[in-house]
Amino acid sequence: MNKQIYAIRTQEDIEAFLEASNGLHDGYVTSVHYDNEKAYVRLEDGRSFISPFDGEIRIRVMVTSMCDTVIELIFKGVSDWQMKQRSYDIFGSSLAILEDGQVVWTDMPGTDKETREQRSFVIARSMEYRFLEDHRPGKEL
């Protein structure tokens, strides 16, 4: 079973993701995992700290408009994020590359700050995704 990881680096990558994932339309977040272990830094003098920019978030979304396909979003170097607890589904997600090169993902159309504050979002140094389960006819992992 091939679970190839795809990176988001360009506008073309964003367009390919939105097309391949159907924009996560009719998606439901099934799990969120935040890992701050890579952000733990121990200095030579014995002190330690947590870098606020080295965390990793993995979000799994079941997309019912794609025959219950499960897609994992992987964000590395997370600088800001918010997950809203809710019982309604994702009608479409948005992605953009900011001027500083970071990727911003939202679970609704629009990536501006006002939009992000209303719903779930992640801003990170990088984003990758993979299909964990693909139940669409003719699609094999």
List, as one string, the DSSP characters of 53-111.
Answer: T-EEEEEEEEEGGGTSEEEEEEEEEEEEEE----SSPBS--EEEE-TTS-EEEESSS--
pTM (global) more than 0.75: yes
Examine residue 140 and state whether it is found in any structural domain, yes or no: no
Examine residue 138 and state whether it is found in any structural domain, yes or no: no
Examine residue 129 and state whether it is found in any structural domain, yes or no: yes
The reported pLDDT for the residue numbered 31 is 87
Model pLDDT for residues 1-24, shown as the tens digit of each residue: 458 999 999 999 999 999 999 999
Residue 87 lies in domain: 6-133
Examine residue 141 and state whether it is found in any structural domain, yes or no: no
φ, ψ of residue 47 in degrees (nearest 5): -70, 160
Examine residue 11 and state whether it is found in any structural domain, yes or no: yes
Examine residue 112 and state whether it is found in any structural domain, yes or no: yes
Examine residue 120 and state whether it is found in any structural domain, yes or no: yes
The answer to whether 111 and 96 have CB atoms below 8 angstroms apart is yes
**Strand pairing of 103-106 and 121-133?**
antiparallel
Model pLDDT for residues 41-65, shown as the tens digit of each residue: 667 777 766 666 677 888 888 887 7
Quick one: what percent of the chain has pLDDT higher than 70? 82
Distance between CA atoms of 124 and 34, rounded to whole angstroms?
13
Examine residue 104 and state whether it is found in any structural domain, yes or no: yes
What is the rounded average pLDDT of the residues 84-104? 86
How many separate domains does the chain show?
1
Mean pLDDT value across the chain: 84
The reported pLDDT for the residue numbered 18 is 94
